[in-house]
Amino acid sequence: MDAVPARPARIQDVAAAAGVSVSTVSNVLNRPERVNARTAERVRVAVAALDYVPHPGAAGLRTGRASAIGLVLPDVTNSFYARIARGAADAAYDHGYSLVLCHSGDAPEREQGYFSMLVEQRAVGVVVVPLSADPGRLARLRERGIPLVLADRAMPDRDGCSASVDDIAGGRIAVQHLLDSGARDILVVNGERGIRQCADRYQGARQAVRSRREARLGQVVAEEMTVAYGAEIARGLEDLPDGVFCTNDFLAAGLCRGLTERGVRIPEDVQVVGYGDLDIASFGATTLTTVRQPVEDLGRAAVEMLLDEIEARADHLHETRVFAPGLVLRDSTRTGAPASSA
C-alpha cells in the first residue's frame, strides 16, 4: 500500500491492501449499508492509496447512479442546436454527468438507433431536441424506462418535462417594437404555416397589432426561409409597408438586401425586425434588430430538469418551462424609440 502500481489498480489489489474479500470491496463501493464502518474505512483508505477507479458504471453504482445523459439533436452544425448542446454540456459537467452527443440528422431510423444505444449503455436519461420526432417514438423510449426531457418543444407536463421558448411572445415584442417606433402598416414575412414556430410568431404579431387600432397587418409566406427568398420578396413588393417582421434572420437579411438594391432606405423608409439573433444579424450591411432566444438556457434547463427527475425521483414534479425571448436593437429599426421587452 506504499506505491501506486504502474498499471491501473484492480479491485483485487484493493482487497489485498485492505485485507478483505473482493466482494467486501464491492459492497463498500456499491452497498455501503451492508458493511461495518471500520471495514468500510479500511477499504476506502486502500481505494484512495491505490488510486483505484471502479469499472465503468460502477462509479455510477457506487453513488447510486450511472452517469451518462444522451442529447439527441438534428444537426450540431446548426448554430441554434449547437447553443442548446453547449448549455446542456455545461450543465451536465457541473453535475458530474457525461453528455453523449447523438446527431440524428433528423432521420427517424438514426434517432431510433441512438435510443437503442442509450438504452444498452444504461444512460440515465435523454434530452431530445425534436424536429420531426413523432410522439409515438418518444413514448416508446419512455416505456423503456428512460426519463426523457424535450428541449425547444413544449410538452404537457403529465408527459414529462420540457424547456421551450415562447414564440408567441417573440412575435409580439417584435411587432410591438415596430409599432412603438412609428410603423403602422406591418408586413410579416413568414415561413410555411405548418411550422409551429412560424404560426406562433405570427400569432404574436397579430396580438400586437390588435392592440393598436390604426395599425394594419399583412403576411407573405416564403417558400424557404433563406436570404435568397427574402431578397426576392423585397424585389416583388408593390406597396411598401413601413414595418416588416421577418420570422427568421435569413429572411430579414435578404429582405434588407433586396430593399437596399431598390433604393429603399432602412430604417428611414422601412423598418425591419428579424428573429433568432443569428450571426448574420450582426454581419450584414444593415445590422438587424432581432428577437433573441435564450437558447443555451434551454439546454441547461433541460439537463437540470432531467437530473431532478433522476435524483429526486418521488419528489420530482414534471415541469413545462417556457423561456421569454428578448429584443436586440440594431440599425434596421429607428433607435431612440422606446423598445418593449418581454
The stretch near a second copy (CB under 8 A) out of 12-20, 95-103, 163-171, 234-242 is: 95-103
Q: Residue 8 interacts with a second copy (CB under 8 A)?
A: yes
Of the residues 5, 56, 64, 108, which one makes contact with a second copy according to CB under 8 A: 56
Give the residue with the Cβ less far from a second copy, 204 or 325.
Answer: 325
> What is the C-alpha to C-alpha distance for residues 279 and 327, in angstroms, rounded to an integer?
15
Q: Residue 48 interacts with a second copy (CB under 8 A)?
A: no
Q: Residue 253 interacts with a second copy (CB under 8 A)?
A: yes
Q: Residue 257 interacts with a second copy (CB under 8 A)?
A: yes
CB of 261 to a second copy, least distance (A): 10
Give the residue with the Cβ less far from a second copy, 202 or 250.
Answer: 250
Binders of a second copy in range 115-174 (CB under 8 A): 117-122, 144-145
Q: Residue 109 interacts with a second copy (CB under 8 A)?
A: no
Inter-CA distances, 13 with 2, 40, 157, Å: 12, 16, 49
Q: Which of 285, 287, 273, 270 is nearest to 325 (CA)?
A: 273
Q: Are 267 and 293 in contact (CB under 8 A)?
A: no
Task: Beginning with the edge strand found earlier in the chain, give each strand of the sheet holding 326-328 in spatial order.
Answer: 216-221, 185-190, 243-246, 271-275, 289-292, 326-328
Q: Are 251 and 187 in contact (CB under 8 A)?
A: no
Amino acid occupying residue 242: D
Contact map string, positions 279 to 308, toward a second copy, x by CB under 8 A: xx--xxx-----------------------
Contact map string, positions 226 to 245, toward a second copy, x by CB under 8 A: -x------------------
Q: Residue 75 interacts with a second copy (CB under 8 A)?
A: yes
Sign of the alpha-carbon dihedral angle for 191, 194, 198, 204: positive
DSSP 8-state secondary structure symbol assigned to residue 139: H
